[in-house]
Amino acid sequence: MKWISVCAVIVIIAGVVNDGVHAGKGTTIIDTLRDYYLKLEDDAWNVVNMGKNPDRILPIVYKLYKMFALKNITYEMEDYELVSLDRIYEWKLLERDLMSVRTLFQNFREELEKQKMTNFDELSATDFAETVFEDKNFPVPQTFDQIESIMVNQGLYYKAMVEVKDQVCSSQKAAQQVIYQMYSAISLTELKGYAMMQFSWMLLKTFGKGNYTQEAQLMRQRFENRTERTQELVKRVMERSELSVWRCDPDVHVEGETYEQFTRLLQGYIENEVDMNTDGTCKENCAAYTFTESHGCFKDLYCAQQPQCKGKIINCTYVDSDMWICPSKLHTNRRYEYIRYENGRVLGEESTCVRGTTKVDSWWRWLFWHCSYCFCLCDEQGYKSDRYFNLRETVSDIDRNKVIVGVRFRKVNRIMHLQIQQGELLPRGVINASTVEWKAVNDYRLLDSGLKNGVDYHTMEWNKRAIDLDDLQANPGHVVTGVKFRSIGPRVNLEIRVQEFNFETGKLDNVGVWISNDNTEVGTNQRTRIYLRNPDVPTKGKARSQVDSKTNQFIEFTHTDMDADAAQTTVPFLDAQDVVSVPPVPLSGIGIYHKGLPLSGGFVAPKLIVYNMAQHVYTPKPGQEDLWDTYG
């Protein structure tokens, strides 16, 4: 079963609240529904206790309970998806009780609908009441005891928190979401059973089958006490539960769908030292060329057979004098498939060379100078090098009360964007599922007029190629409405826009604030660096990547390992999967993190930090908040 946004109940039972913003105030849907019902129940008992004529009492009682059972509890509210709990034995036991009460409640609805406002069918009504108390197939009173035993005494909430922690990336639910959905589903079941019992006592008393006042009062007290204990427990568990949603690696990697990559940022490049100095000499060795460029092509040797590096050449090293070079296939971002040296060392994966290998030999000049072919890194901007981050802000449609509910990386026109998914925010933390959509990215091009590097986009270079890894989270009572990257020196840094909102109405405040983590490697609370050691192409991994970063760190985009890939690929890749929660929920934060494996470049990926619902789990008290309209 799937949990669907309960938009209908939001519309039917709207809170009577002020227009101002009350951050952190207001109860969850189920807590508010319970409070609404208890007020309705008080009114119904007042009617029952004031009269003796069933024809005058029952129309009012039935009308009240129709509003509760037919209007305020929708079929959408009853649908939930908690597959991640299937391995917990106690949950499977409890789920049978939930289904039993749900079936009986459907009979209750049918009983309410078939009764006419005059000439009530006493036999049918009393038969239903006796079913509630006596039918072994629908043991409502015993179900309450079973629920409390499993949830409280056997600690199912805590077991669920531990169980779902390792399933977040596959279930697309934060651990707290699962706990909250459990609480909502179980509380709704308890409320249904309790309401049917109270209704049944009202029927039996009205038809003169007994008084039942004391039983009803005792049940009310037990119900309220049990609710209070449950709320205290579930709040403790929710406050300890993770709020993050992130994605596992997919079964199959597809560029443009499950991952994106930068290209030719720092790439392995073969160059003879004679072409790396203005004098055309071979007086140095490869290690001397740490920062240079290509100054020519001596005698049209191998340099004439490969695309010249027209940018910076850095960090050269000597491997061996002679080699066989396999040039890359056409229409790829690589320069070489592999390089096999005469001493037996192979850079990259040696295989059939489609374009044929080229023998490249170093040489001696005047017996004294060895003109060596060096293995270097090329930092060249050009049409084959995608190395740009979008710096323009992306904001949800605030004028339509939309907030961010998901994010993903997308490369458009060679520029990396963090695209947002947005949805309309409704009262009490609900997202209108029918409005959820991906907002189109700003598809400008690098050659458009008026663009400025450092303002519209960030260009990575050998000394400006890091990204900060942070979890950004708003204060309580705020949701996320915008994202953007900015340049801070050599690094790209995430910012999010947060806005206060009225939990009871769902309305956003007019003012948004951008927040970020401004820490650097110096000063207090210094950032630490994530190092990639001998990284290979991440899509080659045989196991799923593991999160290996934490907030307040950074990582540099670099080249793959010389031996594994001839330093031809820019890593880490960027995880481009949709990072969304199921169902969609408002967010209190967004993060950027790294996941990988040993000897892998891994992936930079976004995560969601869902809105913390724990602060809204409580029973409304007079003076705490504006109460609901008596009959919705």
Q: pLDDT: is 2 or 606 the higher one?
A: 606
Q: pLDDT: is 513 or 25 the higher one?
A: 513
Asked whether the predicted pLDDT for residue 139 surpasses 80, the reply is: no
Lowest mean pLDDT among 454-468, 515-529, 562-576: 515-529
Asked whether the predicted pLDDT for residue 152 surpasses 90, the reply is: no
Q: What is the pLDDT of residue 77?
A: 75
Q: What is the pLDDT of residue 160?
A: 84
**pLDDT band at residue 167 under the 50/70/90 scheme:** confident
**pLDDT band at residue 63 under the 50/70/90 scheme:** very high
pTM of the model: 0.90
Distance CA 318, CA 320 (A): 6
Residue 46 CA, chain-centre distance (Å), reads: 48
Task: Find out whether 562 and 533 touch, Cβ atoms under 8 Å.
Answer: no
Lowest mean pLDDT among 155-164, 208-217, 340-349, 604-613: 155-164
Asked whether the predicted pLDDT for residue 628 surpasses 50, the reply is: no
Q: Which of 59-63, 280-284, 394-398 has the highest mean pLDDT?
A: 394-398
Q: What is the pLDDT of residue 621?
A: 67
The amino acid occupying position 204 is L
Among 235, 223, 231, 221, which residue's Cα sits nearest to residue 195? 223
**pLDDT band at residue 4 under the 50/70/90 scheme:** very low
Beta bridge mates, 267: 378
Asked whether the predicted pLDDT for residue 310 surpasses 70, the reply is: yes
Cis? peptide before 139, omega within 30° of 0: no
Q: What is the pLDDT of residue 367?
A: 67
**pLDDT band at residue 275 under the 50/70/90 scheme:** very high
> Given 3-state DSSP classes, what are the helix, strand and coil percentages for the chain, each rounded to the nearest 5?
35, 25, 40
User: What are residue 375's phi and psi, to 5 degrees?
Assistant: -100, 115
Q: What is the pLDDT of residue 614?
A: 95
pLDDT digits (tens, 9 = 90+) for 28-50: 999 999 999 999 999 999 999 98
Q: What is the pLDDT of residue 348?
A: 98
Distance CA 36, CA 326 (A): 75
**pLDDT band at residue 420 under the 50/70/90 scheme:** very high
Q: pLDDT: is 286 or 100 the higher one?
A: 286
* Angle, in degrees to the nearest 10, between helices 89-114 and 140-148: 150
Distance CA 247, CA 595 (A): 10
Q: What is the mean pLDDT of the chain?
A: 90
Average pLDDT over residues 149-170: 81
Task: Find out whether 485 and 494 touch, Cβ atoms under 8 Å.
Answer: yes
Average pLDDT over residues 419-434: 97
Using CA atoms of 304, 308, 312, 318 in order, give the dihedral in degrees to the nearest 10.
-50
Beta strand spans in 35-111 (E): none
Asked whether the predicted pLDDT for residue 118 surpasses 70, the reply is: no
Q: What is the largest CA-CA distance in the chain?
A: 122
Task: For the chain, state the CA radius of gyration.
Answer: 33
pLDDT digits (tens, 9 = 90+) for 351-385: 999 999 999 999 998 767 899 999 999 999 999 99
Task: Find out whether 552 and 527 touch, Cβ atoms under 8 Å.
Answer: yes
Task: Find out whether 32 and 628 touch, Cβ atoms under 8 Å.
Answer: yes
Q: What is the pLDDT of residue 3?
A: 35
Asked whether the predicted pLDDT for residue 120 surpasses 70, the reply is: yes
- Cα 45 to Cα 32, 57, 63, 204, distances in angstroms: 20, 10, 13, 12
Asked whether the predicted pLDDT for residue 19 surpasses 70, the reply is: no
SS (H, E, C) 313-360: EEEEECCCCEEEEEECCCCCCCCEEEEEECCCCEEECCCCCCCCCEEE
Q: Which of 11-15, 64-68, 158-162 has the highest mean pLDDT?
A: 64-68
